[in-house]
Amino acid sequence: MLSWPEQVVRVQSLSESCIRAIPNQYIKPLTERPVFKPGSQVHQHADIPVIDLHNLFNKDPALHLDTLSRISAACRDWGFFQAVNHGVSHELMRRACQVWRDFFNLPLEVKQEYATNTPATYEGYGSRLGVEKGAILDWSDYFFLHYLPVSLRNQSKWPEQPSSCREVIAEYGGEVVKLCRMLLKAMSTDLELEEEYIENAFGGDNMGACLRVNLYPKCPQPELTLGLSSHSDPGGITILLPDRDLARLQVLNNGHWITVNPVPDSLIVIVGDQIQVLSNAIYKSVEHRVMVSSAKDGVSLAMFFNPKSDLVIEPAKEVVSEERPALYEAMTFDRYRLHMRMKGPCGKARLESLKVNTP
């Protein structure tokens, strides 16, 4: 588990080498390929939830409850929503995106200084998820870093270039953590738990927060592959800053892949597996994947909020009853996420394997 099974190839280098056909190791089986209609416009699915968070903590109970009920419906029916008026500065979002674009535009040798990335922690500059030899790979590179808990934050592992990078990560992280805490409170309240319940279950100040910045290089055969294969996020919630001008993200809803057309300046909130477990499947984690394009590369920032790694997560006693017994086995997050670290993205297979009862 300490090293990659094959030589790691930078997808960005492949993309820049001007190949006309992608290597076989990136060609997905037919059933996993994105349904591609070249040149077709992406239509926003009418019902994709877009939620204005401005009134989440309004003193007026009617306004507060209205926002809470929208969050509730989105987490129950979709496992995700697009948030606007989320409190994170739009200018900071743009700066955060730009420093990472600039980072990925640095010469390969500079980026390779951070390529100490191993499957044990994924920290640093990397290009694959999972360690199975011969696995079909995704068309993306990434940079992975720890933001919380502070004991795991090691700025010397964050890019030193561009010169503002560390500062911008720290500032962006701080704002997104605030948003995350607000959302965890709202979710706890909606689940009729104590306001601090989920945050405390995740370890309070020792909650984990990691940033994965994804680079989706241009791909000469986008219809054959994916930037990120179907998966649900293993942790608690993810706050995703999507690529600004291209609809790449797809979510699975009622058996259909639906393309998310990003609302300008929005952040995407993704419910992860630990919230599905903790809520005993009242909330659902969402299966999602990313398409690539032959015309444009893209960068996205995914901030994952996770339980402290050695905490056991199980369905909250308050949501378990005789009629609705606990659906999932209790497990530490460390053990849970091993699956993603070993096998890479696998839909919702890991969560399914935790099932002890059927609803």
Put the strands of the sheet holding 237-241 in their side by side order: 50-52, 80-84, 267-271, 237-241, 298-306, 208-216, 141-148, 124-126
Span interacting with ligand OGA, options 10-18, 218-226, 242-250, 321-329, rule CB under 6 A: 242-250
**10, 28, 128, 212: residue in contact with ligand OGA (rule CB under 6 A):** 212
Site track 53-92 with Ni ion (rule: CB under 5 A), x = hit: ----------------------------------------
Q: How many CB atoms lie within 10 A of CB 16?
A: 13
Judged by beta carbon distances under 5 to 8 A according to partner kind, the member of ligand OGA, Ni ion, none in contact with residue 212 is ligand OGA
350 contacts ligand OGA (rule: CB under 6 A):
no
DSSP notation for 205-265 = GG-EEEEEEEEE---S-GGG--SEEEE--SSSEEEEE--TT---EEEEETTEEEE--PPTT
**214, 230, 253, 274: residue in contact with ligand OGA (rule CB under 6 A):** 214
Q: CB of residue 265 vs Ni ion: minimum separation in angstroms?
A: 21
The whole-angstrom distance between residue 63's C-alpha and the CA centroid of its chain comes to: 29
Span interacting with Ni ion, options 129-137, 205-213, 226-234, 272-280, rule CB under 5 A: 226-234
Site for ligand OGA in 64-93 (CB under 6 A): none
Among candidate residues 26, 116, 82, 22, the one with its CA nearest the CA of residue 247:
82
Among candidate residues 11, 38, 29, 27, the one with its CA nearest the CA of residue 225:
27
Q: How many residues bind Ni ion (CB under 5 A)?
A: 1
Length, in residues, of the chain? 359
- Of the pair 199, 287, the CB lying nearest ligand OGA is at 287
Site track 258-297 with ligand OGA (rule: CB under 6 A), x = hit: ------------------------------x-x-------
Judged by beta carbon distances under 5 to 8 A according to partner kind, the member of ligand OGA, Ni ion, none in contact with residue 214 is ligand OGA
Site for Ni ion in 229-258 (CB under 5 A): 233
CB burial of 41-64 (b: ≥16 within 10 Å; e: otherwise) equals eeeeeeebbebebebbeeeeeeeb
CB 201 within 8 A of CB 278: yes
Among candidate residues 167, 169, 163, 164, the one with its CA nearest the CA of residue 143:
169
Q: How many CB atoms lie within 10 A of CB 354?
A: 18
Q: How many residues bind ligand OGA (CB under 6 A)?
A: 12
**And the tokens for 122?**
């994924």
**137, 193, 207, 228: residue in contact with ligand OGA (rule CB under 6 A):** 228
236 contacts ligand OGA (rule: CB under 6 A):
no
First to last CA, the chain: 35
**12, 127, 253, 300: residue in contact with ligand OGA (rule CB under 6 A):** 300
For residue 215, the cross-strand partners are 141, 299
Q: CB of residue 37 vs Ni ion: minimum separation in angstroms?
A: 24
Which positions touch Ni ion (CB under 5 A)?
233
Which positions touch ligand OGA (CB under 6 A)?
212, 214, 228, 233, 240, 242, 248-249, 288, 290, 300, 302
